[in-house]
Amino acid sequence: MKVFHCDHCGNLLFFENTQCIRCGQAVAYLPDMAIVGSLDANNDQTPSRPGTWRSPLKAAEGKIYRLCRNYAVEQICNWTVDDSDPNELCISCRLTRVIPDLTAGGHKPAWYKLEVAKRRLVFTLLRLKLPIVSRDEDPENGLTFEFKGDTPDGPILTGHSAGLITINIAEADDAERERRRTSLHEPFRTLVGHFRHESGHYYWDRLISDRGGHYAFRALFGDERPDYGAALQTYYAQGPRADWQGAYISAYASSHPLEDWAETWAHYLHMVDTLETTAACGVSLQPRRPDEPSLSRVSPYVVSPVAPFDQLIDSWYAVTYLLNNLNRGMGFSDAYPFVWSPPAIDKLKFVHETVRDASRQRARY
């Protein structure tokens, strides 16, 4: 994630802000500019185009924006839409086709948290230049989200199926998510982690299966063709493989090659987002001892798809060392409680190269 500032007073802005807390200026995320920036009311408005905005940035000169409907009406979003776009929703909100029942108590705050996590996912996907195609654009293969709560007929399972990502809204409740993490013996469970993991299944379809990449995939992750449902039943009944730490990025990754891919994909997105924040904040580590992790100031180039993978990994080791020590100092568990084996690193490199190739292919068209 980048660091943003108010274009009027220079105050620090965060990705979720809708107003500068220093000067009170309205702010929003401008997807075409990839920034959270200030908004000025469009004084050239005509009756046929009310409620439009401009950015004071020189690079945005001549551009006119509208607030996403979920920003202007629901106060759920903080993104804008180009005024020439007929869609009332921003490029993130239009991916959601089912929202929680807002007549039920607590569902609107849950919806807000779900959309915040999804926007962070979409931000990273855009930064990596990965294809994001909605169901409106491609009814058969497009990406869409449904946010649902349990019903008397049964629980809603978080998962992916043919481009549809379903998230149980209970995951937006911190206490419930922690209960599930504990009951499943997971070291790490976050809302944005769900989005990153499930997006991995979608991009396996788009970047591996649709492009005939099965041979290279199976050489690292294994054959994905054995029964997926049976593999998960075995995992939940018997637990992970005893030797999972020697080949997988997490215990759950050992359940099936497709879950191994999705877990590795999610960890790659964790890494890219955190390192981009590290670069934006100018973090460096200069220890007193030469045998402790060190880190030169991270360049934004390091988190681009075309950067050498080794630079990414070296920076990540140092950052997780810092993150985990800071968390322990505050009395929290490790922010990143994982230890990577060489096979897990090879799989991460495969994800990196897959993203790089997809990014380059899009750049050619």
For residue 251, what is the enclosing H or E element? none
CB 154 within 8 A of CB 174: no
Nearest Cα residue to 208 out of 351, 72, 12:
351
CB 228 within 8 A of CB 258: yes
Cβ-based neighbour number of residue 266 at 10 Å: 26
Cβ-based neighbour number of residue 242 at 10 Å: 8
Measured CA to CA, the distance from residue 112 to residue 281 in angstroms comes to 26
Helix, strand and coil percent figures for the chain, each rounded to 5:
45, 15, 40
Sign of the torsion angle spanned by Cα atoms 90, 274, 165, 357:
positive
- For the chain, report the end-to-end CA distance as a whole number of angstroms: 26
DSSP state of 17: -
> Average pLDDT of 106-131?
95
Average pLDDT, the chain: 91
Flag whether pLDDT at 222 surpasses 70: yes
Measured CA to CA, the distance from residue 6 to residue 37 in angstroms comes to 6
Flag whether pLDDT at 365 surpasses 80: no
Flag whether pLDDT at 42 surpasses 80: no
DSSP bridge pairs for 96: 145
Q: What pLDDT sits at residue 294?
A: 87
Q: Of 39-43, 125-129, 209-213, give the lowest mean pLDDT range.
A: 39-43
184 — pLDDT class (breaks 50, 70, 90): confident
151 — pLDDT class (breaks 50, 70, 90): confident
Q: What pLDDT sits at residue 202?
A: 97
Write the burial class of residue 63 (CB in 10 Å: 0-12 exposed, 13-18 middle, 19+ buried).
Answer: middle
DSSP bridge pairs for 152: none
Measured CA to CA, the distance from residue 170 to residue 363 in angstroms comes to 39
% of the chain exceeding 90 in pLDDT: 73
Dmax (CA) for the chain in angstroms is 68
CB 89 within 8 A of CB 111: no
Q: What pLDDT sits at residue 50?
A: 59
Q: What pLDDT sits at residue 44?
A: 67
154 — pLDDT class (breaks 50, 70, 90): confident
pLDDT one-digit tens code per residue, 79-95: 999 999 999 999 999 99
24 or 362: whose pLDDT is higher? 24
Nearest Cα residue to 268 out of 224, 242, 232, 305:
305
Distances (CA, A) of 274 to 3, 33, 321, 335: 12, 20, 13, 11
- pTM comes to 0.93
Q: What pLDDT sits at residue 213?
A: 87
> Average pLDDT of 201-214?
93
